[in-house]
Amino acid sequence: MRAGVMLSVVLSFGIPAAGPSFAQTLNQGLAAMEQGDFFTAFSALRRLEQAGDPQAARMLDEIFLTPGATPVAAPMPAPAPATRGVVARQASPAVVSVAPLRSIRPQTRLEPAALPVVPDIAPHNSQNTAQGGMIELPAPLDAAAFRQVDETLAAIGHLLFFDPILSGNKDISCAVCHHPSLGSGDGVSLGLGTGAHGLGEERIPVGTHAADRRIPRNAPALWNLGAKEIRVLFHDGRLEVDRDNPAMRLTPQGPLDYMEFDSILAAQAMFPVLSQEEMAGRPGENPIADAVQENRIHGDDGAWAKLAARVDAVPDYRMAFAAWRGQDTAIAMNEIANAIAAFIESEFRADQTPFDAYLRETAALSAQAGEGMRLFYGRANCASCHTGTLLSDQRFHAMGQPPIGPGKDRDEQGYTRDIGRGGVTFDPEDDYAFRTPMLRNVMTTGPWGHAGAFSDIRDFLRHHLDPVAGLARYEPQAILPDLAPDDDDFAALRDEMVIAPIAQAAARSMAQRPLVILQEDEIDLLVAFLETLTDEASLMGWRGVPQTVPSGLPVEGQAGRNE
């Protein structure tokens, strides 16, 4: 990036008559640009924009924030178009080269302010005094927020959840990536699906069909997915309730209105079984993978029907479904999905946290957690996204998450990047945006981020304060099971054409919210508050890990604490 680019924009707009303060700040930005310091230049314009200067706002948009803008002295080659489904489009051109991006400096810290010594914060109503103002807290999460669960169906789903019968090679169950002993995740940044054995970091490729690629995204936690408010699922929201027709669910395979689902969670359960890396396996390994490769998903010869037939052929499952519905007919895939969803809703419910007790006015918070709550709902601005009863706006935000692993999106060379919501909507404004996660039991669900790039929650929080600077200073801390000695999970971090558009998207996101600076002791206070979102009883599980499943296949994870 060159100072001349900024100067040319200044000349085209004209120097505003804003006095020495504008000129001084602008000169700082020009000097930073000359040194290739993207962040300081960006911050200089940002300060002027926040002071109400319209020319600075226009310059900020022209130089940094306009999608597709390329403020470099010479044009950079655009990457080859990546195919997503049947639609391909050019990726947004890079904004900065790797060298300037790596020189980004975090903003200078202020001297830490002394925090008041306060007693435990007693139960209070939803309007709470915070730093001289008022903060509005959500209602507690209680039984009324959840769908009523059919426990008989959930008992069938319990067995199916731990049964490898639903994977193409019959070697992995849902529980391997969402284990009760691992906070409903798998404890690693990017897991290994079919073709491996073991749990979490100890999982290793084995067998004739040994895994050769990581699952490209972090296994999302399952907590509170039975809540009535849930309207989007997956990191990119590729399964969602149709806002124009709430009775309809939009999925990668269409609305699926020929099936009856009890919830959006049940519809979601239909899709991991189709993923090559997760459960289906590779073409040539089994009939399910072959059907998926040939795009035979629906119908009597489709992948879903083949899986349902497997389950139906197991006498115990056939009898259990017949007893539940009162009719002995062939098991359908949507019934399997409804059963698994019922189990997840029953097993992974977390609504007895200290924070919920505080909201119910039945318990106090510690002084540290209380101050953290005030930061969360106040100056730290966390609640602008982690809002409402579920602590999520269920929307999508570009937070500059470091790219690790194979990535989700394909090009002719394979998986190379992950553009998140943009891969669903094909809208460049949505590139690199991911769903806001819910936060109950968040301290147990690391590593964090859509690719699990952060294993330290404090680093994750620091990154969120300023994702552009955070991306530049990121040092790998992912937790990854061994895959292959020559596998480079961090190659994308050195790839200019991958990193630059992530930084651009994060800069656009930064422009829509106030820049927040927190001291280290304030980060500690936020962590203290996040710890109050842990439901200890829920972590122990209710049904536990079954010793056996009706298929007779081995059950992984029986040595877990929920045995």
**Helix pair angle (333-347, 315-325), 10° resolution:** 80
AA letter at 305: A
**Distances from the Cα of 420 to the Cα of 20, 165, 344, 398, 538, angstroms:** 43, 30, 25, 9, 30
Mark whether 380 and 528 lie in a shared domain: yes
Mark whether 318 and 373 lie in a shared domain: no
Please indicate, yes or no, if residue 37 is contained in any of the structural domains.
yes
543, 546, 156: which is closest to 314 by C-alpha?
A: 156
CA 398 – CA 419 distance, rounded (Å): 9
Q: Is 454 exposed, middle or buried (0-12, 13-18, 19+ CB in 10 A)?
A: buried
Mark whether 363 and 497 lie in a shared domain: yes
Q: Is the dihedral of CA 268, 269, 270, 273 positive or negative?
A: positive
Domain residue limits at 7: 3-65
Mark whether 403 and 373 lie in a shared domain: yes
* Segment (H or E) for 7: helix 3-13
List 135's β-bridge partners, or say none: 128
CA 328 – CA 218 distance, rounded (Å): 39
Mark whether 316 and 391 lie in a shared domain: no
This prediction has a pTM of 0.78
Mark whether 338 and 357 lie in a shared domain: no
AA letter at 368: Q
Which CATH number covers residue 413? 1.10.760.10
pLDDT tens across the length of the chain (563 residues): 444 445 444 444 444 444 445 666 666 666 666 655 555 666 667 667 666 777 777 776 666 554 444 333 223 333 333 322 222 222 322 222 222 222 222 222 222 333 333 345 555 444 444 344 567 899 999 999 999 999 999 999 999 999 999 999 999 999 999 999 999 999 999 999 999 999 999 999 999 999 999 999 999 999 999 999 999 999 999 999 998 888 889 999 999 999 999 999 999 999 999 999 999 999 999 999 999 999 999 999 999 999 999 999 999 999 999 999 999 999 999 999 999 999 999 999 999 999 999 999 999 999 999 999 999 999 999 999 999 999 999 999 999 999 999 998 865 555 578 999 999 999 999 999 999 999 999 999 999 999 999 999 999 999 999 999 999 999 999 999 999 876 789 999 998 888 999 999 999 998 988 889 999 999 999 999 999 999 999 999 889 999 999 999 999 976 433 33
Out of 323, 349, 375, pick the residue that ends a domain. 349
Mark whether 428 and 475 lie in a shared domain: yes
**Distances from the Cα of 100 to the Cα of 96, 468, 496, angstroms:** 7, 12, 10
The answer for residues whose C-beta is within 8 angstroms of residue 133's C-beta and 6 or more apart is 378
DSSP conformation letters of 131-152: TTEEEEPPPPP-GGGBPPP-HH
Please indicate, yes or no, if residue 105 is contained in any of the structural domains.
yes
Mark whether 337 and 237 lie in a shared domain: yes
Please indicate, yes or no, if residue 556 is contained in any of the structural domains.
no
CA 330 – CA 43 distance, rounded (Å): 63
Mark whether 382 and 491 lie in a shared domain: yes
Out of 65, 81, 109, pick the residue that ends a domain. 65
**Judging by DSSP bridges, how do beta strands 133-136 and 196-197 pair with one another?**
unpaired
Mark whether 46 and 175 lie in a shared domain: no
DSSP summary character for residue 64: I
* Tokens (6 digits) for 528: 């203290």
Please indicate, yes or no, if residue 553 is contained in any of the structural domains.
no
Q: Name the one residue in this structure whose structure tokens are 């899709």.
A: 271
- How many domains is the chain built from? 3
Mark whether 286 and 262 lie in a shared domain: yes
Mark whether 328 and 457 lie in a shared domain: no
